[in-house]
């Protein structure tokens, strides 16, 4: 399922610890190198992306910042670099104990020198990880769908002073409707629209579907519909589109979210070189 990508500044992440453990079985490798010129501000930029994998139940909390003292970035000329921004985000999750994918993206406001032949990124990148928290399951009737009020979990990131209407925002509101034929449902399936409304600072991640016995309900994604979110007035509405078996009449829905109390720091070891095959700037675009 799709979920809202929530970027946290490093100041909101778990406090780094020198003795923080490594991310389980993590590996990183070179993915892409790109240079160019910002046509609005006419400034050069350079972007390096690394792909990574790891195992474990915890997910990486997407974050952006540049406070990485344990990282060394140098090139063949001896020049050192400090990134203007570093983005860490999940790329794909295949199961609680299966291999997960993530990216680390470094942004710079300069190009390497013309005579630089390679660039090396070495050290450790701190990442905040957590297992998703879940609301209690809410029963939904697919034959007679109605709006459902789900109690807002305590300590889920909500700031009461920032809520204009506390009575309204004490709940997550879930509604659903079956879409007309032709929206992707085939072979005994229907496409459903799930709409979840919640306070903007509630860290929503995903929907988890179960049958009435608590077993996972497989749900596909329609090929032509994509989930999206819209925010305003202190609240956010997220739309999810799922393909469900037409024979299903009732099921349970859990709302998965991030609980800051469960944030933990893990270190991602990095040692990646690029440009070993020739000049690093070969093929770059001039302004």
DSSP assignment, residue 216? B
pLDDT of residue 245: 87
The whole-angstrom separation of Cα 248 and Cα 173 is 22
Task: Spell out where 100-249 has E strands.
Answer: 100-108, 119-130, 133-134, 138-141, 148-151, 171-178, 189-199, 204-210, 228-232, 235-245
The whole-angstrom separation of Cα 2 and Cα 5 is 9
Residue 169's φ and ψ, nearest 5 degrees, are -95, 10
State the 10-residue block means of pLDDT for the chain, 287 residues long: 46 51 90 89 91 90 83 94 93 69 95 90 93 94 93 67 49 91 70 94 92 91 87 91 89 94 93 74 46
pLDDT of residue 13: 44
pLDDT of residue 66: 73
- On whether the pTM is more than 0.85, the answer is no
pLDDT of residue 141: 94
Contact between 145 and 269 under an 8 Å Cβ cutoff? The reply is: no
SS3 label, residue 10: helix
* Pick from 56, 61, 64, 58: nearest CA to 9: 64
Residue with tokens 């988890």: 208
The whole-angstrom separation of Cα 103 and Cα 92 is 10
The whole-angstrom separation of Cα 123 and Cα 125 is 7
The whole-angstrom separation of Cα 280 and Cα 122 is 17
The whole-angstrom separation of Cα 36 and Cα 109 is 10
- Which residues are registered as beta bridge partners of 274? 119
SS3 label, residue 267: strand
Residue 260's φ and ψ, nearest 5 degrees, are -55, -25
The two structure tokens encoding residue 75: 């090139």
pLDDT of residue 277: 55
- Which residues are registered as beta bridge partners of 280? none
* Distance of alpha carbon 80 from the chain centroid: 30
Residue 262's φ and ψ, nearest 5 degrees, are -100, 5
Residue 10's φ and ψ, nearest 5 degrees, are -60, -30
Q: Enumerate the H helices of 188-242 as residue ranges.
A: none
């Amino acid at each position: 399922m799709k979920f809202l990508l929530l970027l946290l500044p490093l100041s909101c992440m778990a406090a780094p610890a020198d003795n923080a453990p490594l991310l389980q079985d993590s590996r990183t490798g070179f993915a892409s190198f790109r240079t160019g010129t910002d046509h609005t501000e006419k400034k050069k930029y350079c972007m390096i992306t690394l792909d990574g994998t790891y195992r474990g139940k915890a997910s990486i909390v997407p974050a952006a910042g540049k406070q990485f003292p344990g990282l060394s970035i140098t090139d063949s000329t001896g020049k050192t670099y400090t990134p203007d921004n570093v983005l860490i985000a999940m790329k794909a999750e295949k199961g609680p104990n299966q291999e997960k994918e993530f990216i680390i993206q470094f942004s710079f406001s300069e190009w390497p020198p013309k005579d630089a032949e390679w660039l090396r990124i070495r050290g450790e990148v701190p990442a905040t990880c957590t297992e998703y928290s879940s609301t209690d399951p809410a029963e939904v009737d697919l034959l007679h769908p109605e709006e459902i009020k789900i109690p807002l979990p305590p300590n889920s990131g909500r700031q009461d002073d920032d809520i204009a209407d506390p009575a309204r925002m004490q709940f997550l509101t879930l509604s659903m409707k079956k879409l007309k034929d032709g929206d992707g449902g085939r072979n005994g399936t229907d496409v459903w629209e799930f709409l979840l409304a919640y306070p903007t600072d509630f860290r929503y991640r995903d929907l988890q579907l179960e049958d009435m016995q608590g077993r996972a309900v497989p749900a596909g994604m329609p090929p032509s519909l994509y989930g999206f979110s819209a925010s305003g007035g202190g609240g956010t509405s997220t739309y999810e589109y799922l393909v469900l078996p037409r024979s299903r009449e009732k099921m349970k829905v859990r709302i998965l979210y991030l609980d800051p109390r469960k944030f933990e720091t893990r270190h991602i070891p990095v040692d990646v070189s690029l440009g070993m095959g020739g000049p690093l700037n070969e093929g770059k675009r001039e302004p």
